[in-house]
Structure 1
Amino acid sequence: MKQKNNGIWVSWNENVKHSYKSLYKITSESELQKVIAHSKKIRFFGNKQSSADIAAGTDTLIDMKNYNKIVSYDDDKRTITVQSGVILKDLLEAIEAVGWCIPCLPDINTITVGGALATGTHGTSGKLLSEYITSCRLILADGSVKEIKSNDELMNAVKVSLGMLGVLSTITFKCEPAYTLHVKERPENDSEWLPKIKNRLKKHDFLRVLWLPHTNKGYVITGDKIAPETEVTENLGPKFLKHRRTASKILYKYTHVFPWLTAIANKLLYIGFFSSKKEHKGSLYQATVTKSRGSTLELAEWTIGLNKFPQVFKELKKEINKWNNKSFIHIPMDVRFVEKDNAWLSYAYKEDIVTMGCVSRNAATADTYEAFKTVEKIFLKYGGRPHWGKRFTAKDSQLSKIYPKWEDFKSLRKELDPTNKFLNPYLSKLVNEKKTANVRKVVA
């Protein structure tokens, strides 16, 4: 175990900074237990890619990235057990190597598994990643270990918990046999793709829509399971498509000063990068997961019941198309679909949902990005729920209205962590817990 004293913790986007007194790089469960047991206030982090201020802000921090081993496989049960600091890329490559898959994968592969689970990370056309847990080991505030099985009542609270109940140590995932997808991508008018959502969810094994604000277009991606040997005429589009992020960076450079430029930039980006059709095949991981994010960005994401989405979408589109406001949204807005579950703080608790991401390509100016405010206002109006690892301003009183198990979760949190060891200032406000130790924040 390595220890570093008196430093500055800096987020991936460099717009959240906190000072700390002690930072530990742990490699074993016993080290994790020891640090937690002997700390008064503590938080933990992986690759620091959350847009929410959940990973630091306490005097003691744990860097989980070296706690990253593949522990074991169970061929009969088709499960894999890993340490929580393992990067998603390494987990996915490990299960693909034995012919397995997890059938709902997030957009990126650079986050730690523990962080992904704690914040309710998900893909599309399936369940939250946390729904594939069969068991896990949780380090509690006193340093003891609690093993939790899938049928334990506690599991639905632990699956998505922002690290407020304890620290995930090892996690066992249930996998499925790997499969091949035939993926087709193409632009469609909003009037075409919006009413087809339910039918496409029934027809296709994979569905994702990249909505292009200010263009009246969506970029529809469908995937269908095929035999691996099936021949597909591959069309990856023009070679210049790989330069979309560079073009976006140039076109959005001054949109924080002149927001109306965004509408023009979006139209140009649609013509250049979203107007062509593409076709290819591969495993779910190969065909749909972004392997890296070349530049920093800031994200908000909101979810809403599948039946309410058309109404929410139409209101959002109407609002951002008004030229008298500043909510001009960078493209694309990622529209994905998640099946209902029973996890207490899941966005899909008891209902099928649609998720809609909102991105600012100018991370440094994200605090004044009006689109985040507009999206939150409209989704909250209809009972929408925010992604825990991304930007939102809703606090306890609002969250208690949109999460039926919010108060139960808060009660359990106090029971498992009576001294608020796992709370930082951001989380304390989130759960309306006023008793928190003083910490030192460095303004970016």
Structure 2
Amino acid sequence: MRVAWSNWSGSVQATPSMVLYPESIEEVVDIVRMCRREGRKLRVVGTGHSFTPIAASGDVLVSLDRMQGLVEVDAAAETATVWAGTKLKLLGELLFQQGLAQENLGDIDVQSIAGAISTGTHGTGREFGNIATQVIGLTLVTGGGEVVECSPESHPETFRGMQVSVGALGVLVQVKLRLRSAFKMRYESRRTQLTACLTQLPTLADSHRHFEMYWFPYAESCQLKIMNETTEPVTPRRVGDYISDVVLENGVFGLLSGMCRRVPKLCKPISRFSAAQFPLFSKVAYSHRLFATKRLVRFNEMEYNLPAEAMPAVIEEMRAVMEEERFAVHFPIECRYAKGDDIWLSPAYGRDSAYIAVHMYKGMPYGAYFAAMEKIFLRHGGRPHWGKMHSLRASQLQELYPMWDAFVRLREQYDPDGILLNPYLEKLFGVPELSL
């Protein structure tokens, strides 16, 4: 019996023929070999937080929800091996119980660790790469049904291809992470004028462990989110935190978003109103409880990686196009930084980076807005986030990623029959579409 599946935002729907929940590596091997034997296709899904059809399957959908938790912890070496289906929120708490923490995370913690690293998910901070840079070992079941263990020491070239693989090389089953001791940070929310902020961006990014900026279309003010390590005591949880996190940032904003969907001409005044209502505060907590933000208002998103130095110019171009085109959009634009890396399909490959993300409330048309912003990003050498919307295909991606051809050869080696491909990935990698 077929079951309906959709991603978090509702932008992708699929009807897999079966959904399987393996509980061991051996069961994953059996599933892959069954698919290969019967000529089936399979995709692996975490929490469906990608906005592209990257996890969509019309045949076999595999969930690793029953493969969560710690496998092995080496407190002295500050490393841990974890099941690939472990959700980031759970992982943070499990590591904290061991006195450990990941050095950096993104602003959503509902994804599985496998999904986060496979799509190049990142946080912010000049000195920190995306989450995949914290990986020091991987175990996966290839498209041929073989179990492969890979590390920078055992297979340095292959490992760099596996770190961000969009699930095209195999089913990740275990991940070994480089960690650090648990630590606290002070989180500050500030407000400033966007024009002034743009002139200070390099200083702001260099002066803080983590820095990101949110600015609303058509508004002059923007919010700065700043986090720095501290030894101060944890701030007690207050009623005001609930009001800020849930009531204002989700409940009220959700109501305003509904108004914008019904009456698009309200987007501009509501955008300006929202910019003025961002709460200003500071608090101290352990890192894994600060990185993530509750996201109850659903949206669609496109995010591009850019050379770090391009951030101010790109934002100015975005502002100009928005003023000219008058897009009906009220969701903020999120601007972050990340350190460059050597991972083949990482958007930050070979360069220190800026990330700019644009959003549109669920149910509102986003095509023209995203297309206009994408043109700006591409003019500045932009590379798309693998879990976010974009329009690029194989020939364009080949030009943007120096190691693209090497990854394609690796994909053909690890999945010779293409059982891990779906129609979306076939277009992404330029593989002729095959019938199921």
TM range (shorter): over 0.9
1:198-213 counterparts in 2 under 5 A? 198-213=202-217
Paired with 2:59 and 2:176, the residues of 1 have a C-alpha distance of 31
The equivalent position to 1:33 in structure 2, one of 29, 32, 57, is 29
Corresponding residue of 1:132? 134
User: What is the CA distance between 1:277 and its match in structure 2?
Assistant: 2.3
Paired with 1:143 and 1:239, the residues of 2 have a C-alpha distance of 50
Is 1:61 equivalent to 2:66 in the alignment? Answer: no
Corresponding residue of 1:169? 173
Task: State the AA in 1 paired with 2:218.
Answer: H
**Is the contact between residue 193 and residue 222 of structure 2 (CA under 8 Å) also seen in structure 1?**
yes
Task: State the AA in 2 paired with 1:372.
Answer: F
- Relative distance call for 1:259 and 1:369 in structure 2 (3 A) is farther
The equivalent position to 2:254 in structure 1, one of 223, 226, 249, is 249
The equivalent position to 1:179 in structure 2, one of 170, 177, 183, is 183
Paired with 1:21 and 1:62, the residues of 2 have a C-alpha distance of 11
Aligned length, in residue pairs: 427
Paired with 2:326 and 2:398, the residues of 1 have a C-alpha distance of 30
Corresponding residue of 2:43? 43
User: What is the CA distance between 1:259 and its match in structure 2?
Assistant: 3.8
User: What is the CA distance between 1:379 and its match in structure 2?
Assistant: 0.3
User: What is the CA distance between 1:94 and its match in structure 2?
Assistant: 1.1
RMSD over aligned Cα atoms: 2.2
Is 1:400 equivalent to 2:402 in the alignment? Answer: no
Corresponding residue of 2:317? 315
Paired with 2:106 and 2:305, the residues of 1 have a C-alpha distance of 15
Paired with 1:256 and 1:396, the residues of 2 have a C-alpha distance of 34
Is 1:264 equivalent to 2:266 in the alignment? Answer: no
User: What is the CA distance between 1:110 and its match in structure 2?
Assistant: 0.8
User: What is the CA distance between 1:14 and its match in structure 2?
Assistant: 2.9
- Relative distance call for 1:88 and 1:302 in structure 2 (3 A) is same
1:350-389 counterparts in 2 under 5 A? 350-361=350-361, 363-366=362-365, 368-389=366-387
For the residue of structure 2 that corresponds to 1:308, the secondary structure is helix
**Is the contact between residue 201 and residue 312 of structure 2 (CA under 8 Å) also seen in structure 1?**
no
Deviations 1:371-421 (A, max 9, x none): 211211110121101110111111112211211111221122112212111
Q: How does the TM-score come out when normalised to structure 2?
A: 0.92
For the residue of structure 2 that corresponds to 1:92, the secondary structure is helix
User: What is the CA distance between 1:68 and its match in structure 2?
Assistant: 1.1
Is 1:424 equivalent to 2:427 in the alignment? Answer: no
**Is the contact between residue 2 and residue 16 of structure 2 (CA under 8 Å) also seen in structure 1?**
yes
Is 1:154 equivalent to 2:158 in the alignment? Answer: yes
- Relative distance call for 1:328 and 1:303 in structure 2 (3 A) is farther
For the residue of structure 2 that corresponds to 1:225, the secondary structure is strand
Corresponding residue of 2:296? 294
The equivalent position to 1:409 in structure 2, one of 407, 410, 434, is 407
Paired with 1:54 and 1:48, the residues of 2 have a C-alpha distance of 9
Paired with 1:409 and 1:326, the residues of 2 have a C-alpha distance of 40
Task: State the AA in 2 paired with 1:364.
Answer: G
1:210-225 counterparts in 2 under 5 A? 210-225=214-229
- Which structure features the higher share of helix residues? 2
Paired with 2:280 and 2:221, the residues of 1 have a C-alpha distance of 14
Corresponding residue of 1:75? 75
For the residue of structure 2 that corresponds to 1:153, the secondary structure is helix
Task: State the AA in 1 paired with 2:363.
Answer: A
Paired with 1:263 and 1:237, the residues of 2 have a C-alpha distance of 27
Paired with 2:311 and 2:121, the residues of 1 have a C-alpha distance of 20
Paired with 1:181 and 1:429, the residues of 2 have a C-alpha distance of 43
Paired with 2:241 and 2:6, the residues of 1 have a C-alpha distance of 38
For the residue of structure 2 that corresponds to 1:209, the secondary structure is strand
Corresponding residue of 1:227? 231
For the residue of structure 1 that corresponds to 2:426, the secondary structure is helix
Percent of matched pairs sharing the same residue = 25
